[in-house]
A and B are shown apart, each in its own frame.
Chain A
Amino acid sequence: MIQEAEGIVTGAMETILAISATAGPDIPFVRPEHESLVELGRYKKRGRMIEPAGELTNDEACSLLEAVGRDGDIQSFETLFRYYGPRVKAYMARLTRDPNIAEELMQEVMITVWNKAGQFEATRGNAGTWIFTIARNLRIDAYRKNRRPDFDVNDPAFVPDDTKSAENALADRQDATRLKDAMKDLPQEQIQLLTLSFFDDCSHSKIATKLNLPLGTVKSRIRLAFARLRAALEDGK
């Protein structure tokens, strides 16, 4: 798993730069205002690299998260880190050319995963989605200076799910598998639009400009993608 390498270090840098390059010149480089970044100098020196773990099923990831939440099990956490750390860093690297910033944000995400693992509900959960939402919220907080208003499920004015919409939600692990398969079947053009939306901070109109497509086409492709995913989940009921 662990390799000594100068070559891999350069490889990593190239990957990050390649990823940043695909984000396009229109995405501004924004330096997040993170206190810990002041200390960036310490991490400039590059050492041995962890090779990203290739496979981790949702069931495995859920059990690991539970072990972290229940027992504070550092070994389970390390397994999660080996799999998700490189992915969180890749997600962060899509908005910055600076690998140190991506590394710092990844560290913040993984600390949050450690601290909040006890709140993860494995029964209805998708470990990847849970970690992704933590990473996304942290990325919004780092790159956007304004507040991030969100609904509060414990607010007395909050209208809870009725049974019908609860059924539509990703309610169990079977649904997670069904969704995974449905995603594999989506046409590449739809996957591309979802990727630009979720990872590259692109609005519909920005995507239209970037891909030189009419705005209506972008809208309808995204609508089609979600309609297909919804249909795939409903078929399984």
Chain B
Amino acid sequence: MNIRHHLSDELLVGFASGTLEEGWRLAVATHLALCPNCRARLTLMEDAAGELFESISPVPIEVSSFDRLKQRIRNGERNRSASPRQPTEAVKMVSPPTIPEPLRTYLGGDLADLKWKSLGRGAYHIPIKLADRSTTARLLRIPAGKPVPEHSHGGRELTLVLRGSFHDGELLFARGDIEEADASVEHQPVATPGQDCICLAVTDAPLRFSSWFMRLLQPVLRI
């Protein structure tokens, strides 16, 4: 695979430090599964953070703290799940899935298992359930040769291609490529002819107004 469009330093630092909200993190982690280049950059950032961590001003600890820890160890207490990335039992599959982890778990399966909802004009989507409400994530299927439907967004948008490809102006985005756009970017992605394009799209969640009047005005004011 030849990935041309990579993660920005900002997104990678956010991933490495843990500041990214769930939706962004999902797109970044899924890109990382496909992109050794960005993983090498991530490793460098984590190592740099590890160095900073070595030189942090230490805070004194009570002697009883270690006794308590020893007691917990003797009691055979297991940690909570916070381990670094570790090889687990390899999953045996006949052919590798198209959708990598962690996205596959969020969707509940690979391409063949998905239940698409029509958006009209041959486009489909699947909303992805996130615990975090500040971002919205969904899988999009854009018909070959057609533009991405209902495309207006106020904030940041991440688009990660999983199958097929799309053009945005001069730029081609294929499997593994990630496009980062903000409100200032006017763009019109068009799926490449020949194959439907499947991608993960994450945006800032639309503002939710408690007043029905404001909700009614939302489409008019485009907020």
- A residues apposed to B, CB below 8 Å: 2, 8, 11-12, 15-16, 19, 43, 46-52, 74, 78, 81-82, 85-87, 89-91, 93, 99, 102-103, 106-112, 114-116, 119, 126, 128-141, 144-162, 165-166, 168-170, 176, 179-180, 183, 191, 194-195, 197-199, 201-204, 219, 222-223, 225-226, 229-230, 233
Of B13, B30, B64, B87, which contacts A197 at CB under 8 A? B13
Of B1, B46, B100, which contacts A129 at CB under 8 A? B46
Is A134's CB under 8 angstroms from B82's CB?
A: yes
Distance of A104 from chain B, by nearest CB (Å)? 10
Is A47's CB under 8 angstroms from B93's CB?
A: no
Chain A residues lying within 8 Å of B211, measured Cβ to Cβ, are none
Is A152's CB under 8 angstroms from B59's CB?
A: no
Is B36's CB under 8 angstroms from A160's CB?
A: yes
Is B51's CB under 8 angstroms from A179's CB?
A: yes
Of A47, A126, A129, A150, which contacts B64 at CB under 8 A? A47
Is A157's CB under 8 angstroms from B99's CB?
A: yes
Chain A residues lying within 8 Å of B194, measured Cβ to Cβ, are none
The stretch of B66-74, B112-120, B144-152 in contact with A is: B66-74
Of A74, A89, A150, which contacts B102 at CB under 8 A? A150
Is A49's CB under 8 angstroms from B102's CB?
A: no
In the assembled complex, the Cα of A145 lies from the Cα of B16 at a distance in Å of: 18
Chain B residues lying within 8 Å of A89, measured Cβ to Cβ, are 58-59, 61
In the assembled complex, the Cα of A164 lies from the Cα of B101 at a distance in Å of: 23
- Pick 28 A–B contacts, CB within 8 A, sort by A: A12-B59, A15-B59, A50-B63, A50-B66, A74-B73, A82-B66, A87-B56, A90-B56, A103-B65, A109-B82, A114-B69, A130-B84, A133-B50, A137-B18, A149-B29, A155-B91, A155-B104, A156-B90, A157-B100, A159-B36, A160-B36, A162-B36, A170-B43, A179-B51, A198-B13, A198-B17, A203-B14, A219-B9
Distance of A108 from chain B, by nearest CB (Å)? 6
Of A86, A141, A168, A176, which contacts B61 at CB under 8 A? A86
State whether the Cβ of B88 lies closer than 8 Å to any Cβ in chain A: yes
Given A87-B53, A136-B49, A229-B48, check contact A157 B104 (CB 8 Å). Answer: yes
Is B43's CB under 8 angstroms from A169's CB?
A: yes
Chain B residues lying within 8 Å of A155, measured Cβ to Cβ, are 33, 91, 97, 100-101, 104
Chain A interface mostly: helix
State whether the Cβ of B45 lies closer than 8 Å to any Cβ in chain A: yes
The chain B residue with its CB closest to the CB of A8 is B60
Is A141's CB under 8 angstroms from B82's CB?
A: yes
Given A112-B79, A132-B53, check contact A151 B32 (CB 8 Å). Answer: yes
Is A108's CB under 8 angstroms from B82's CB?
A: yes
Chain B residues lying within 8 Å of A111, measured Cβ to Cβ, are 69, 72-73, 77-79
Is A149's CB under 8 angstroms from B91's CB?
A: no
